[in-house]
Homo-oligomer: A and B are copies of this chain.
Amino acid sequence: MKLSNSFVKTLRDAPKDETAKSAQFLIRAGFVHKELAGVYDFLPLGLRTLKKIEQIIREEMNKLGASEVQMSALQNPRLWEKTERWSNQKVDIWFKTALSAGGELGLAPTHEEPITEMMKTYIKSYKDLPVSVYQFQTKFRNELRAKSGIMRTREFLMKDLYSFSPDEETHNQFYHKVEQAYKTIYERVGLGDCTYQTFASGGIFSKFSHEFQTLIPVGEDTVYYNADKSIVLNEEVVLPEVLDELGIKKEELKSEQAAEVGNIFTLKYKYSEPLDLKFNDSEGEQKTVFMGCYGIGVSRVMGVIAEKFADDKGLVWPESVAPYKYYLAPIGEQANKIAAELEAAHPEDILLDDRNNRPGEKFADAELMGIPYRVVISDKTLAENKAEIKNRKSGETKLLTLDELKGILK
């Protein structure tokens, strides 16, 4: 992409009420625009990164054999009344709205109820099970406070996966596969080293659920961990009986702040029972479907990546989710010509800074935007038929011949 074609400009300042480092840089670098507290628009660079994270998650969901759908945001209270999740006393983050034609609707904060109801159309027999369904869908949550940029918002993109099994054993096999898929996802988006599967409260239906927590100083959660024993606990389950069961003492655990980047949950019959999702087993007996749900906040993961890797100069994107891999900054007429040819050949990989501004401004923008590699071509480098390539993360600089550069672009 040519920067001269972009309507977005980097900004000197972020809104004063924006405290999270990631949000400040995402706004200043032109990835997002703040609509109101907890509500953001995605600008072209931000949308590209969001879609790259989405595509990585999609690929891993498809490998699980899950089918992609897209449910509505507008919700019928009738379903949520059956599971006792319509009342504001039970679920305090509903956005509700009046329908002109009469009655009230909700904006889905999650989708267990409608997906369970929908599956009643398609699940009749044990032959229809197991099955799993996922979506990328905008969730709405009426958070009282929103202060962590795109890490906690009132409207956000979520991947939610739901599994439907004939029994607990089949469920457990799938649940374990999702654990592995989630680990692969965090590795692929660059968070593998600092993200841990964590024991969390299972509510009243399961002993534990699992969260995936990324260690990060501004995280809203506190986790307790023991690296040697590979045990990580959410603060809420650091209780004598849990420690006993896991065979660990509280003194062996260190605490750290973390941000939740995913959760997986054995639902058992919590929704299938009240919503009456049943199947006939091989003996012809009616049984209730055993369910699980598995979430990843896509825009939240983007915020956590931004927060985790940003330095004092700006964002630092892992290659897999960077909007572009190369920031190409030509200096001089011949360099401009070569750069234009390279961009034309690789428009998806190269962000070409073809603006008429000073090299120092180009370099500062490259750093602020966090593009993994900055490539400078100038009369000086061209004298040796070379280009300079700088790694945003390590700061390491190398000279490449133009042929070597074309080679790595392929």
Contacts and interface: CB of A to CB of B under 8 A. Distances in A.
Interface string A133-169: 1000010101111000000001100000000000000
A35 interface: yes
A72 interface: yes
B118 A33 contact: yes
Contacts of A131: 7
A5 interface: yes
A231 to B, nearest CB: 36
Interface in A31-85: 33, 35-37, 39-44, 47, 50, 65, 67-76
Contacts of A96: 97-98
A128 interface: yes
A67 B140 CA distance: 26
A95 interface: yes
B11 A121 contact: yes
Interface of A is mostly: mixed
B101 A97 contact: no
A76 B36 contact: yes
Contacts of A65: 5
Interface centre among A96, A100, A128, A155 (most CB of B within 10 A): A100
Contact of A97 (B76, B107, B144): B107
Given A11-B121, A119-B7, A143-B100, A114 B44 contact: no
Interface centre among A39, A47, A70, A101 (most CB of B within 10 A): A70
A184 B131 CA distance: 40
A207 interface: no
A243 interface: no
A76 B74 CA distance: 19
A72 B46 CA distance: 13
Contacts of A76: 35-36
Nearest to A88: B100
A170 B379 CA distance: 37
Interface string A199-221: 00000000000000000000000
Given A100-B143, A128-B7, A142-B99, A39 B69 contact: no
B122 A73 contact: no
B67 A6 contact: yes
A381 to B, nearest CB: 29
B72 A44 contact: no
Contacts of A114: 35, 41
